[in-house]
Amino acid sequence: MYWTLELASKLEDAPWPATKDELIDYAQRSGAPLEVIENLQEIEEDGEIFESIEDIWPDYPSKEDFFFNEDEY
């Protein structure tokens, strides 16, 4: 399983919180690339409810990761 910003962005508007099956259904209905669906299918199922993309991809960059102070340049 691998995630990129482009792939993860396909789940930004998903109905969080959601189960693995709900996310797969959302990805299929929204026309997400096959890689997104395959990544979701590889998640180990234990009935977990995911609150956000960070639960699936812990390294997902937050808005703070893109913040920079233009005054420093």
pTM of this structure: 0.80
Tally of structural domains, the chain: 1
29 inside domain: yes
CA 24 to each of CA 19, 51, 63: distance values in angstroms, whole numbers, following the listed order: 9, 15, 25
What's the pLDDT score for residue 64?
Answer: 62
Give pLDDT, residue 63: 61
List strand residue ranges (DSSP E) for the chain, in order. 18-19, 49-50
Low pLDDT (below 50) residues in the chain: none
**What is residue 1's predicted lDDT score, i.e. its pLDDT?**
79
Residue 41 lies in a domain: yes
Range of the domain at 48: 3-56
Q: Is residue 13 part of a domain?
A: yes
Decide if 71 is inside a domain.
no
Q: What is the pLDDT of residue 65?
A: 57
pLDDT at position 52 is 93
Would 63 be classed as within a structural domain? no
